[in-house]
Amino acid sequence: MTPFKTFILSSIILTIIALIVTYGATQLTESIHPATMVTPFVDIEGANVTGEGLIIKLIVSNATGNITITGGYAEILETGQSSSLNVTGPLTLEAVYPLMPQYVNLSTIGIKGLVSGTFYGDPMYIGFFLVAPIHVSISMWVSNVHYNNCLLNMTISYSTPIPIVINSFTNVTLIDDTESEYVFYTIGNISKSILLAPGVNSTSITMNVGEIPNTRVFSCSLTTGHLYTLYLPITVTYIYPTTSITTQLTLYKAFIAGG
C-alpha cells in the first residue's frame, strides 16, 4: 500500500469516527433539564389605617439564597396612589399613603408594584399584585349628656383616622320622652369650630342653653328617672390630605336622668 493510499484510508476512518461522535452527542440532549429554583415572592404583611395614613407592610417570602432588597414602589389601584417602598428589614418593606375619601367605602384594596433588589449581586425585580383587606371607619357618637341650670354638657366620642372639624349644631333638641314634652329646642345653626384630632378620643362641649338666641327653654333641669332623648344634627368637615368633605350627621342619645 502506498503512503498516499494509507493517508486516504486513515483520513476516511478518522472522519467517520468524528461523524458518529458528533451525531452521538446530539442524542445526549435528552439528559439536559432546565434548572429550577425556589422563587421568592412578595406577600402582604399588613394594611393598617392609622393617623399617619394607610400603612402597607410587605414581606418577601420564600427567599432563599443571597437576596438583598433595595427598594421599589407600590400603587393602590383604587386611588391611583403610588409610593416608593422603604426597606424596614432584610426582607420587609413599607409604604405610607395619605388617607383619601374613597377609603371609607372600601373593604379591600389592590396593590401592585415592583420590589427591586439583588440576587447574588445581580439586579433582580419581583413584580406583585396583592389584595388586602382594609377597614377605614369614621364614627361619632354622644356618650354622655348632663343638663343642669340650663347648662348642656355633652361628651362627644369619636373614632377617626383623619382630622374632623365640627362646624355647627343645627336645631338641637332635648325631649323628655316620659312626659312627652320639650326640655328645650333651638332654631337655626349654632356655629362652632371644634377640631377633633385623629384617633379614638372624646371631647366635652358645654352650652348655656339660656343664652343661645332663638331658643325655647321649658326647663332648666332634668327630672330624675325620666327618659330623655337628645337630637344633635351637626355639620362636620372631614379633612383629608388632598381634599375636605363637609357633610351632615345626626347624633342622638337616649338616656335616663340621674340613672
Binding site for another protein (CB under 8 A): 3-4, 6-7, 10-11, 14-15, 17-18, 21-22, 24-26, 28-29, 31-32, 35, 37, 39-43, 61-62, 65, 119-130
**How many CB atoms are closer than 10 A to CB 205?**
15
Q: How far is the CB of 14 from another protein (least distance, A)?
A: 5
Residue 63 · residue 43 · CB < 8 Å = no
Radius of gyration of the chain (CA): 37
Question: What is 123-169 written as a DSSP string?
Answer: EEEEEEEEEEE-----EEEEEEEEEETTEEEEEEEEEESS-EEEEEE
54 bridge partner residues: 49, 97
Nearest CB to another protein, comparing residues 77 and 197: 77
Minimal distance in Å, beta carbon 188 to another protein? 56
Question: Least Å distance between CB 15 and another protein?
Answer: 7
- 235's enclosing H/E stretch is strand 227-239
CB-neighbour burial class of residue 220 (10 A; exposed 0-12, middle 13-18, buried 19+):
middle
For residues 17 and 197, which CB has a smaller minimum distance to another protein in the complex? 17
Residue 237: half-sphere exposure toward Cβ, Cα within 13 Å: 11
| Between 76 and 126, CB nearer to another protein | 126
Q: How far is the CB of 109 from another protein (least distance, A)?
A: 15
SS3 content of the chain, % helix, strand, coil (to 5): 15, 60, 30
The CB-of-4 to another protein minimum distance in angstroms stands at: 6
Q: Please, which residues bridge with residue 155 across strands?
A: 144, 204
Closest approach of Cβ 130 to another protein, in Å? 6
